[in-house]
């Protein structure tokens, strides 16, 4: 793609998948055409050691598939797609530049994992292992990981106020969301 950013694309059975995210000019599925689709491009040097890549050139994920109600016909080898209420939602990616995960002990603490270089998260002074204890003056018990993901891609030039716990201190960080791709 003409514009791309380094990204943690997710986890698989074979481990963490790193690569790039970029906007592709167009994509068609089931007779429906889309423009400026965000697509993942794994680091092929690493992933090719784990899986066969002869017929692959990127990933299409949940942001595209959630625009449809889908039925799979496994017996005949195809799927039906029917547009749903998300069909016209524009393609956006996280505009904060960090990975947030739940601690693996009680699944209640929101922790910052990786932070993308030169991202809004890095520019605001956030650090890996910071704990997010509030967002926009709301307690974290009112948020899910999905809620945060949606908030972090909700619009360029929007500000998000994070309440952070680090080194036994609590402080606030204002992060200005940026459209990075």
CA torsion sign for 167, 173, 177, 180 is negative
The average confidence (pLDDT) of the chain is 89
pTM across the whole model? 0.78
pLDDT tens across 14-24, in order?
677 888 889 88
> What pLDDT is attached to residue 61?
76
Looking at domain 98-176, which of 2.60.40.420, 3.40.50.1370, 2.30.42.10, 3.30.420.40 is its CATH number?
2.30.42.10
Whether 132 and 110 have beta carbons less than 8 Å apart is answered as yes
Pinpoint the residues of the chain covered by CATH 2.30.42.10.
98-176
Range list of β-strands (E), the chain: 4-12, 15-29, 32-42, 68-73, 78-83, 98-102, 110-115, 131-135, 138-139, 159-166, 169-176
Give mean pLDDT, residues 137-158: 94
């Amino acid at each position: 793609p003409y514009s791309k950013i380094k990204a943690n694309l997710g986890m698989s059975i074979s481990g963490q998948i790193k690569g790039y995210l970029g906007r592709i000019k167009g994509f068609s599925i089931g007779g429906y055409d889309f423009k400026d689709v965000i697509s993942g491009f794994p680091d092929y040097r690493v992933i090719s050691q784990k899986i066969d890549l002869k017929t692959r050139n990127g990933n299409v994920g949940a942001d595209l598939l959630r625009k449809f109600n889908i039925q799979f016909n496994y017996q005949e080898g195809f799927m039906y797609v029917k547009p749903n209420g998300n069909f016209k939602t524009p393609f956006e990616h996280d505009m904060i530049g960090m990975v947030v995960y739940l601690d693996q002990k009680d699944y209640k603490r929101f922790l910052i994992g990786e932070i993308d270089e030169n991202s809004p998260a890095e520019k605001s002074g956030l650090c890996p292992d910071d704990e997010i204890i509030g967002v926009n003056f709301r307690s974290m018990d009112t948020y899910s990981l999905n809620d945060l993901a949606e908030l972090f891609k909700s619009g360029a030039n929007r500000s998000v106020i994070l309440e952070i716990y680090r080194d036994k201190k609590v402080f606030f960080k204002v992060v200005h969301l940026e459209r990075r791709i």
